[in-house]
Structure 1
């Protein structure tokens, strides 16, 4: 068209050429520059004439509004279905779709046991990375679904990768919950062009739909929330307000202490001849190397004092629990021997 080789643009309905106002008016401008006309079933439009140009602009505006209304109605219909817990674009591995609006656990025992193994190992190790390494070490394959294969859902198996384990442990569908709107999109301007960034995770308070006890899960919802708290606390890269993962070492309060001056988490360092003498220190100088360090102190006396206090507080509870256990044991023994005693007395009489 810019070379002047197009004289006519045909369309069944001219407004259908308008996806947005910018593209539509660009087309009208090019047609006016090269002298091309636009033709649809209603008539012939000459973009160089003001009246035809006005009519084409109104048709484009009406088409853009119509598309917006159709999109809004379609999205509202999807949201209504999601609020009922009946909208499924895809089904997570470990589940199968039943009918049009329900899901159930996969009848394949191998799939169920593999997914259950991931959750049981996390309950034991409390670290996604440690679960991933243990599965790789034991050469245990995990199920997955190839999204490129259309048609009926077909489960494949492969050695575990970190992302697969993380997705299994953080997806609320495995806790029997239906969720819609966990991710969203964000529009940015990059190199002068619009770019849509998809897959941005939202906070739980921003989820559109959350239905607990929607279907049978692989673990209770309370255990799932505990798992999410552990995963959040294990993330060192999310600032100094998280607890941090439990690491090797002899100190008692790793990840539990805060600096009284700046509020940062106290890190642990080891020194001494054998490298087993712990020391708590503030990490303020890492972000501001030129600043003054806040506090640093040895761990021996602090851990000893806190440990002694814990033992003092728990000791009465331990004694009381032991007394209750003994009493319960004696009561159970008496109930077991009571029929024999009654029988013996009856025989004697």
Structure 2
């Protein structure tokens, strides 16, 4: 066993994974719109759409890993905590707010634009503070990101306390979700619901993976590959037959498969990837694609010609994936990248 003292030279493969996760979510929402607007009822399409939902779980494991791994090499910086908080808030809010505010105004002026009826929270839409439904539907995941960022900030003051906090957090999540505690009225609060959601276990898996990589723990490649294959096979079986061993079990099996896949990729397939490669470009623009894709795919599929054949169905999905990637990349280049750099360049008073 050896401890990593210097940051890994390349983590480009993680950008590829981020891109894959984003496209999974695009497919998930597109399938929902195809069912709503075109009344397509296909078991295969439904299964593909259902699997796409787990792109969110993919994101959470990745996010937990990236945050913990990158922070490890910055703890000794005198302004580490300040920079961490500043960078995380800028990274979340600067790209989100224009789209979040736009969707809030759009649903206020044209309520029928939404595929379904749901009460919107202005507070959550503008701040991501858990209080209700955000106007931009995918923004619920950002509340979980912020929750993890907030708790992880403790590590900048004491990594020992942070480690104990993780243990308490996981135990609390398990007790809340798998005992009668969840029925207690005082725990039925939006903040508590986010804090004690089982989704947080996926961030913790990312945290544990970062520790394994940092400490240089080596697992045999063949065993690692077999684990990943087995975990994905179990996930596919459970999802296909819709078998829940316990609540959130399918998500956790998928997260375990992603955990192994990230480990194998970093340890055994870590290499420089051309930044102009398609999946690298999509990976770099992942957040913008994630933010922009849902309203975009709703518009595209709402006005798409009536789908009557498998070919037109496949073309519709490819069109949505292409436009989501293209418009997301444009938003990334024109606004996200420049705006983040501009805000970061402003000194804190």
The normalised TM-score by structure 2 is 0.21
Name whichever structure is richer in helix by fraction: 2
Name whichever structure is richer in strand by fraction: 1
| Structure (1 or 2) with the larger CA radius of gyration | 1
The normalised TM-score by structure 1 is 0.21
Greater length-normalized contact order (CA 8 Å, ≥ 6 residues apart): 2
